[in-house]
Each structure stands twice: as structure tokens, then as C-alpha cells.
Amino acid sequence: MHLRLCQMKFCSFFFCCGRPSDWSEKGSGSSRWVFSLRELLSATNNFNYDNKLGEGESGSVYWGQLWDGSQIAVKRLRMLSEKAEQDFAAEVETMGRVRHNNLLSLRGYCSEGPEHLLVYDYMPNFSLYSYLHGPHSADRLLHWGRRMSVAIGSAEGIAYLHHHATPRIIHKKIKASNVLLDSEFRARVADFGLADLAPESAAQVATTVKGTQGYLAPELAISAKATESCDVYSFGVLLLELVSGKRSIEKSSTNQRLAIADWAFPLAREKRFDEIADPKLDGSYVKEELKRLVLVGLFCAQSQPQRRPTMLEVAELLKGGAKENLLFIQNDEMFRIQTTASSL
């Protein structure tokens, strides 16, 4: 009960670990972990409300415990569309092949009757959201070194999805609540590969948009087709959130909604980077690193998709490599203070 109370308000995704009781081989020689429905019902106390950790766009998540004592979380997918029902096995096989230190990889599944269940690793430090805006924000455990590690790790995880996964995966839902933190506060990007399994209804679309406000690339208002560049935009917003401690959209002093990039941009242009830093850092950060994260974040979150970098380039920039590219970004026209005729 204590675990549920701690996680309910900010656990929009899932946390688990454990070993499935079966190793099964199905279809074209591929191997997958397979749980029985009976086993997962027992582990979650029949999906008891008291075991519920949270609810995401594609389903609810329940805490449970297997016979060997290992803790798991079971993502119970909502009723699937006919196409998603047909694609479930293929989607699970694709997600099961994704393995990277900075991705929350699929550990198991169950598909019996109307039930479609997914099992993932347990992340003891919850999500980035919980330390920036949730119950743990006052703990101040997210010091600068950990923030840099989260920035680089999550960038590398998304870069893997874009450039090395087969087939390549567009995340579509990059946000603070989908970056989980392991026992060492290392980033594990979650909730990828599930978009095609979501219910196809107007209500579900509305829920998805509401849940990602502030992270959506502007071109998605014109075309609903997500691209790698849309993920880059979302990641830029996430970087600014990580540096400043602000939400992706804040209310201004005049009660107007202000996107984080619109707030940070004039400060960066005037080189007032210290004013962007999260006050909870108490000035304890590496100034050059903070400047780097702000510049890269704003360059990712610019409105023109063709000018955004790739996630491979972003990861390299954040690690301090590609110094010429960072200098190019710093000197880009978007960061130059515009002079007017009256000021000449």
C-alpha cells in the first residue's frame, strides 16, 4: 500500500522487475518471455485497485509480486482496435528486440483472450517528472551531475531508437514522466513502441494531446504524421525543463500560458544563462555545461524542423564532442541580438 501511495500521483508509466516463469519460442525462431494470465492475476491481486500505480494513454499499470519475491508492474492495455489486435504480436516482437542501457526494455508479455499485458523493469527512483515537479521535487536529489547524466543518457537512448533499432522507432511521447530513473539515477526512456497499439478514438487522441502539451512540435498541428524531427523538438523542451526546473508550459505573471522555449530564448540570446538555471541547484552547476544544454535545447525546439539536429548529433553535442558544431549553434543567427535602425 505504501508503494502505491508514493507512486500514484506521478507514476504515469510503469515500474517493474522480475523473471517470467516461462521461456517460449514462437514464430520464425524468435524467443520471447511469456507470462501466463493466471500468474499475473495472482501477482497483482486480480488487478486490485490498491495495486494500481498509474494510468497512461495506452492503459493502466499495476504493481505486483511474483512467486520468487521479485516485484513487477503489469501494463494492462486498453481494448485494442482490430488492426492493433492483429499487430500485437509483431509489436511485442519489435519492442522485445530493443536493448539499450538507457531504454526501458520489454521483459515479458501475456496475451490470453481479451487481455494484452506487458511487463517491464522496475525503476526504484520513479520518473524525472517526480523529481522536477512531483512529490520528490523538494528532496533536491537531482544535483547537476545527475541532470547531465540524465540528459546524455536519454539522448543516447532516443538516438538508438532513431538510428539503430530495427525497424527504426519514432517515440512520439517524449516527456519528463517517460524518462524513468534507476537506482543510480541513470535515465531509462520508457513508453516507446506503443503508439500503434493505442485505441483509435477521438477521446483517446484528445487524451494524448493533453498529456503532451508543450512537447508537441508545431508542424504536428498541420500534419499528424510524426517524424524523428518531432522527437528532437520534444527532447529540446525536455532539456530546458531539466535545466530550469520549469514545466514545459507555465503561466506568466499575467496568467497567460508561456512555452518554456519562449521563456528561455530571450534570456539565452542575452547570454543570461544563470537566470535559466533551476533555483533548487543553489548555483551549484558547471556553467559551460548549463550553457551547452540550454543552447542545444533551444536549437532542438526551434519551429523549423529542417534546421533541427538529429538525435545522434544531439547526444554528441551534450557529451562535449563536436565542438565546432556547438560553436556553430552558439553563433547561429537565432541567438544574435537583432539591432534596429534606431539603435545604430
- Same domain, residue pair 305 and 173: yes
End-of-domain residue from the set 88, 120, 152: 120
Q: What is the CATH number of the domain that holds 42?
A: 3.30.200.20
Torsions phi, psi of 142, nearest 5? -90, 70
The enclosing H or E element of 108 equals strand 106-112
109's CB contacts (< 8 A; 6+ apart) are: 32, 33, 34, 35, 92, 96, 116, 117, 118, 119
- Same domain, residue pair 113 and 186: no
Domain count, the chain: 2
State the pLDDT at residue 139.
92
- Same domain, residue pair 187 and 309: yes
Q: Judge whether 342 lies within some domain.
A: no
- Name the residue range of residue 30's domain: 2-120
State the pLDDT at residue 197.
57
- Same domain, residue pair 292 and 157: yes
End-of-domain residue from the set 76, 91, 120: 120
Would you call the peptide bond into 114 cis, given omega within 30 degrees of 0 as the criterion? no
Q: Please give the chain's pLDDT, 344 residues, in tens.
A: 444 434 443 344 443 433 444 434 433 333 348 999 999 999 999 999 998 878 877 789 888 888 888 878 889 988 766 777 777 877 888 888 899 999 998 889 999 988 999 998 778 898 999 999 998 999 999 999 999 999 999 999 999 999 999 889 999 999 999 999 998 999 999 988 866 555 444 334 443 444 478 999 999 988 878 999 999 999 999 999 999 999 999 887 778 899 999 999 999 999 999 999 999 999 999 999 999 999 999 999 999 999 999 999 999 999 998 888 999 999 999 998 776 544 43
State the pLDDT at residue 89.
79
State the pLDDT at residue 58.
77
Torsions phi, psi of 285, nearest 5? -160, 165
Degrees to nearest 5, angle at CA 258 with 255 and 259? 160
Instruction: Tell whether residue 75 is among the known ligand binding residues.
Output: yes
State the pLDDT at residue 196.
57
pTM of the predicted protein model: 0.85
